[in-house]
Amino acid sequence: MINNSKDKAALTDWLGRELSYLRISLTDRCNFRCRYCYGSEADNCKADQLTDDELKIIIKSFSLLGFDKMRLTGGEPLLRHNIIDLVHYISSLPENKVVGLTTNGSLLKQKLEELIDAGLNRLNISLDSLDRDTFRKITGRDELSAVLEAVDEALRYDVFPWIKVNMVVMRGVNDNEISDFANWVLPRKLDLRFIEYMPTDKTDWGSERFLSEAKIRELIGIGLKRDGNISDVSGPAVRYVVDGYPGRISFISAMSHEFCRACNRIRLTSNGDLLGCLFQSESASLRDMVRNGNTAEGIARYISEIVQDKNMRNIPCDKGRDYRPTMYRVGG
C-alpha cells in the first residue's frame, strides 16, 4: 500500500511493516573467494546483469516509493565500473538520505575519496581475520594489509557516523580471534559487528561452522554494556559499549534471534530480482519490468502491489525450511 503521509515510510507490506531501505547488489562477481560465501560451485549471471540505465530506473522507482536508504553490495560492489556515477545518482535523489557501501575493502583505499565526493555516507567493511594466514585461508587472497589500510584510510574522514567492521564468526576457523578483534576495535572509533555464520548455498563450509551469539559473548571476555544511544538503532544489530573506550561491539544474530517483524529492508540482485528477505526462495523480476519498457512510476506501482503478496515477504521465512541463500548474489 502506498502511504502519502510525509513522516512515514511510503510503502507498507502485507504485515504492515514500513519498507524504506533497499539493498542493491551491483554484481555477483567478486575478487575474493570466501569459503563461506563463494565456494567452488559458484557461478555468475553477468549476461543478465542490469545495465546502469536499467538500474537507475529501478532505483528511481524505490525513491518514488519513499525509500530513503540504499546500500550497495555484491559480490564485490567496487568491481562495478560506474559505481561512482551510481553513488552520485542515488545521493542526488530528493528522498535519499543514506547511501551505504558494504565491501571487502581490498579496492577501497584508492576509491574512497571519489566515493565520498559522490555522496557515500555509510561504510561497512568485511574483515574476518587479523591473521594473515587465516585471512588467506578464508578469502583465498593475500589482501589483509590492503583491507587494514582501507580501514585506517576511512577513519581519516568524518562523513561516516560509524565505520562498521563485519566479522563472520566461524567455529574452528576464526573463533580463536574473538577477543583479539574486541581488543583491536575498542581503542578505535569502529563498530565491530560479530555476525553469526549462516550456512549458504554453493559454499564449501556447512552448519558445523556455526557459533551462536551466546558462545561468542563468552569468548569476548570483556564486560559489555548495552549502548544507550538511540539515534542509530535501525536494523538487526544489537550494540554494546565498554566504559572508557571509543569503539563499540555489536551482534547480528540472524540464526539464534528473530528480528523479522521489525525488518524494513528489501533486496535487489544484480540481475534485477527483488527479494523480500535474505532467506527467501521466491523473487519477482524487476528486470523484466524495465526491459518491457515500464517507467519508474509503473515499476513503483508494481512493487507496491507485490509487497502485498505473502510469498514475497514470508514469515516464517524459508530459514525455517532449511533454505540456503546464495550470499554473493543477494548481497548479504
Per CB under 6 A, the list member of 93, 168, 266, 284 interacting with ligand SAM is: 168
Dihedral-angle region of residue 331 (phi above 0 means left; psi in -120 to 50 means alpha; beta otherwise): left
Strand order in the sheet with 21-25: 225-226, 238-241, 248-252, 190-196, 163-169, 122-126, 98-103, 69-73, 21-25, 265-268, 273-275, 284-285
Near ligand SAM in 88-107, by CB under 6 A? 102-104
Asked if 105 interacts with ligand SF4 (CB under 6 A), we say no
Asked if 78 interacts with ligand SAM (CB under 6 A), we say no
Dihedral (CA of 137, 126, 149, 248) sign: negative
Q: Which residue is nearest to ligand SAM (CB)?
A: 332
Residue 291 CB, nearest distance to ligand SAM (Å)? 25
Asked if 126 interacts with ligand SAM (CB under 6 A), we say yes
Asked if 37 interacts with ligand SAM (CB under 6 A), we say yes
Asked if 125 interacts with ligand SF4 (CB under 6 A), we say no
Q: Which triple of cell numbers denotes residue 203? A: 559454499
Tell me the C-alpha distance between 217 and 325, whole Å.
Answer: 26
Other CB atoms within 10 Å distance of the CB of residue 164:
21
Q: Among ligand SAM, ligand SF4, none, what binds residue 200 when CB lies within 5 to 8 Å by partner kind?
A: ligand SAM
Quick check: helix, strand or coil at residue 229? coil
Asked if 328 interacts with ligand SAM (CB under 6 A), we say yes
Near ligand SF4 in 32-61, by CB under 6 A? 32-34, 37-38
Length of the chain: 332
Amino acid at 185: V
Locus of grid cell 528473530 = 258
Asked if 196 interacts with ligand SF4 (CB under 6 A), we say no
Q: Among ligand SAM, ligand SF4, none, what binds residue 119 when CB lies within 5 to 8 Å by partner kind?
A: none
Asked if 174 interacts with ligand SAM (CB under 6 A), we say no
Asked if 328 interacts with ligand SF4 (CB under 6 A), we say yes
Q: Among ligand SF4, ligand SAM, none, what binds residue 38 when CB lies within 5 to 8 Å by partner kind?
A: ligand SF4
- Stretch touching ligand SAM by CB under 6 A, among 141-149, 193-201, 227-235, 277-285: 193-201
| SS3 per residue for 122-141 | EEEEECCCCCHHHHHHHHCC
Cis peptide before 187 (omega within 30 of 0): no
Residue 34 CB, nearest distance to ligand SF4 (Å)? 3
Spatial neighbors of 230 by CB under 8 A, at least 6 apart, are none
- Nearest residue (CB) to ligand SAM, 73 versus 96: 73
Asked if 151 interacts with ligand SAM (CB under 6 A), we say no
Quick check: helix, strand or coil at residue 71? strand
Asked if 75 interacts with ligand SF4 (CB under 6 A), we say yes
Nearest alpha-carbon partner for 122 in 161, 73, 149, 168: 161
Residues of the shown chain interacting with ligand SF4 in the complex, contacts defined by CB under 6 A: 30, 32-34, 37-38, 74-76, 104, 126, 327-328
Residues of the shown chain interacting with ligand SAM in the complex, contacts defined by CB under 6 A: 30, 36-37, 73-74, 76, 102-104, 126, 166, 168, 195, 197-198, 200, 327-328, 331-332
